[in-house]
Chains A and B, each alone.
Chain A
């Protein structure tokens, strides 16, 4: 019998299934597991948002929206970005509401790349970036970020990766999986490179609100960067709305229009229910959001201190909700460590190399789970490490 594989397009073989997916299969069906493997908040969506969405349904708001998204939502987004970062976007033409940042990432790559164009992608990074570049016919050029640099993107590494085919630099701070952030001064160096080589910057700022020891710098707020930046953000992380699938892209009119054209043919619009919820989030849920962020901050401190105390050294993550400790000294690979930790102690964390080659020797642990669970996870991890050292 012939394999079904013959129907699958050749180019898909360049895109392996996500390493996270593979690990997920191992955890399915076990209920004794403490999961530090999750990339989403443990809080439910604030009730006001749910209520606004339900009310919208009751009122019969069940139609398509503009391809760009509800104008009211785009206005709220423009207002939000203006008040937080002082960056001005025209809600009529420079903002596109998408099905999460995931769709926006796919759209922007297809909107700006022609076959063979290169995109500089810092690693370790979120799993979808390289596949999106490849789907668009482009070529991802990875640049490793390293623990001694606190996983910040180094300007000289970016310079070294630039060729005449380089079209864009993708940045993602606060970072999944490392929790790294970049300051205004550090980003300014990347901005200078982008200006010098006339590159587009695609900035995934989905964790912008989850910044703990200082304010987030929006890349588009750097001098003259608004004109060459596509800013991506959404509601999943800050407002605990992962399942609602609402994100957005802001950027130069021509790029947003090109993205909207594809979006109009492939997704048409983001779900109206999600969009209504997002409006409520922006207008009425600042307090709820801040409370969640304060809670993550407390967990971050407890968890990172705990990891360092049991010998899993880890730079202090300053954003998102991930700690990225090194497990190299154990002599195990990331995958071996993660599997053994899961099977022997019932703690699920994601091998660092699921986020790229430079994540090898690390483990991504989410601290978006209760303090009680985090403490129990730390105790189990300590037990696991004790067993390793005593053989």
Chain B
């Protein structure tokens, strides 16, 4: 059910009782839907959205456009599966357009990311070339605007 997924995608785990109340359904139905979503791999896991730039923890991200030569029968799947297994890889997408794969790499500093690209990613079998772009500042991520929230300007009591 679309509404349940939209709620937990934004808010994280919400008790089935509350989902049931909010959406006007039975607790059993809400419970069953979440279990099914987990079993079917629709709900992968719950996670929090952290603004690392505001913390004192160093973390850099780079978007790396990869051109690669596809294989007969499997296309880019094998290469993608190989690249996915590196811990440094935060996300990986098959792309339309001029590059074939987009690899989002995460590291503690620029050097760590650069080393991963030079030593692991670029030499991977099938990779033809890479173009690395480092993230300098995050403005919005996962639908969340990463700036100070404007205050509430509503008056406290209005008609």
- A302 → chain B, closest Cβ, in Å? 5
Instruction: Point out the residues of chain A lying under 8 angstroms from B21, CB to CB.
Output: 301-302, 305
Contact B154 A40 (CB under 8 A): yes
B3 at the interface (CB under 8 A from A): yes
A294 at the interface (CB under 8 A from B): yes
Decide: A302 near B154, CB < 8 A? Known: A18-B159, A39-B159, A128-B159: no
Bound-state CA distance A301–B106 (Å) is 42
Max chain B Cβ within 10 angstroms of own Cβ: one of A33, A127, A301: A301
Inter-chain pairs besides A38-B157, A40-B154, A350-B157, 10 sampled, C-beta below 8 Å: A20-B157, A20-B158, A24-B155, A27-B156, A33-B156, A37-B156, A38-B155, A39-B158, A298-B7, A301-B21
Interface size on A, residues (CB 8 A): 29
Bound-state CA distance A18–B155 (Å) is 15
Closest 5 CB pairs of A and B: A37-B157, A298-B22, A24-B157, A27-B156, A35-B156
- B18 → chain A, closest Cβ, in Å? 7
B143 at the interface (CB under 8 A from A): no
Contact A38 B22 (CB under 8 A): no
Instruction: Point out the residues of chain B lying under 8 angstroms from A294, CB to CB.
Output: 3
Instruction: Point out the residues of chain A lying under 8 angstroms from B158, CB to CB.
Output: 20, 24, 37-40
A248 at the interface (CB under 8 A from B): no
B24 at the interface (CB under 8 A from A): yes
Bound-state CA distance A33–B157 (Å) is 11
Bound-state CA distance A4–B150 (Å) is 41
- A15 → chain B, closest Cβ, in Å? 14
B23 at the interface (CB under 8 A from A): yes
Per-residue 0/1 for B115-159: is the Cβ within 8 Å of any A Cβ (1 yes, 0 no)? 000000000000000000000000000000000001010111111
Q: Give 25 A-B contacts (CB < 8 Å), ordered by A residue.
A: A20-B157, A20-B159, A23-B157, A27-B156, A28-B156, A35-B154, A35-B156, A37-B156, A37-B157, A37-B158, A38-B154, A38-B156, A38-B158, A39-B159, A40-B158, A126-B159, A127-B159, A128-B159, A176-B159, A299-B22, A301-B24, A302-B18, A302-B22, A348-B156, A348-B157
